[in-house]
Amino acid sequence: MVTNFENITTELTDYEMSIVPSIITGFKRYSKESPIKSADVVERFNNYNGSKILTDARLRKIVNHIRTNGLLPLIATSNGYYVSHDRDEILKQIESLEQRSRSIENCAKGLKRFV
């Protein structure tokens, strides 16, 4: 869990773990040429299941689980999510994640000046 975001970063529930395979199957349909936005994933999932159980935040947590456990080479860009087995695209995604991580670390260092 992430402090101040406990309600959306809590570990995946049993139900969420049970839908990971379906989410993976859904993502496999999308390529660099036809990515899907997170809002569309959430809307389609909820419409299919007749519920509002999946949110953007919980989808991000599921995506984190998929990537952390090496279940699918899932790429995210400003255009949306897609699957790629292209080494260069995966390396670019890794670079993007590392850059974002450094940016967050720099923010934390800046705030430490106040304490």
CA distance 44 to 51: 10
pLDDT in tens, 42-91: 999 999 888 888 999 999 999 999 999 999 999 999 999 999 999 999 99
Backbone angles phi, psi at 99, to 5 degrees: -65, -45
Q: Which distant-in-sequence residues (6+ apart) come within 8 Å of 62 by Cβ?
A: 12, 16, 19, 20, 23
Return the pLDDT at 41. Answer: 97
pLDDT of residue 2: 78
Q: pTM of the prediction?
A: 0.90
Q: What is the pLDDT of residue 33?
A: 97
Alpha carbons 91 and 44: distance in angstroms, whole number: 29
pLDDT of residue 66: 98
Could you give the dihedral angle defined by the CA atoms of residues 7, 9, 15 and 19, in that order, rounded to the nearest 10 degrees?
Answer: 140
Q: Which residues pair with 83 in a beta bridge?
A: 74
Predicted pLDDT of residue 6:
76
